[in-house]
Amino acid sequence: MTMSILYDIFLYFARFLTPQALEAAFRLPSGENHQQLLEKIQALPADRQIAGIEDFVFSINRESVQKRLDNIKGTFLFVEYSTISSKVSSVDVKTDYVRVAVTVARPRPQDQDDATEMLWQDETLKIISDIRGHMRNDLDYGLSVWWLNFPTTIQAFVAPALANSMGWTMEFDIQGTDII
- How many domains does the chain contain in total? 1
Q: What is the pLDDT of residue 142?
A: 79
How does pLDDT run across 147-169, given as a tens digit for each residue?
999 999 999 999 888 888 999 99
How does pLDDT run across 10-50, given as a tens digit for each residue?
999 999 998 888 877 777 767 788 888 888 988 988 999 99
Domain ranges, residue 66: 5-177
Q: What is the pLDDT of residue 2?
A: 47
Exposed, middle or buried by CB within 10 Å (0-12, 13-18, 19+), for 144? middle
DSSP-derived secondary structure letter, 69:
H
Q: What is the pLDDT of residue 5?
A: 92
Q: What is the pLDDT of residue 3?
A: 58
| Closest to 136 in 3D by CA, of 153, 152, 148 | 148
| Closest to 41 in 3D by CA, of 51, 56, 52 | 56
Would you say residue 1 has pLDDT above 50? Answer: no
Give first-to-last CA distance, the chain, whole Å.
14
Rounded CA separation 65/62 (Å): 5
Rounded CA separation 160/164 (Å): 4
Rounded CA separation 55/75 (Å): 7
How does pLDDT run across 57-92, given as a tens digit for each residue?
999 998 888 888 888 889 999 999 999 999 999 999
Exposed, middle or buried by CB within 10 Å (0-12, 13-18, 19+), for 53? buried
How does pLDDT run across 84-140, given as a tens digit for each residue?
999 999 999 999 999 999 999 999 887 888 898 899 999 999 999 999 999 998 878
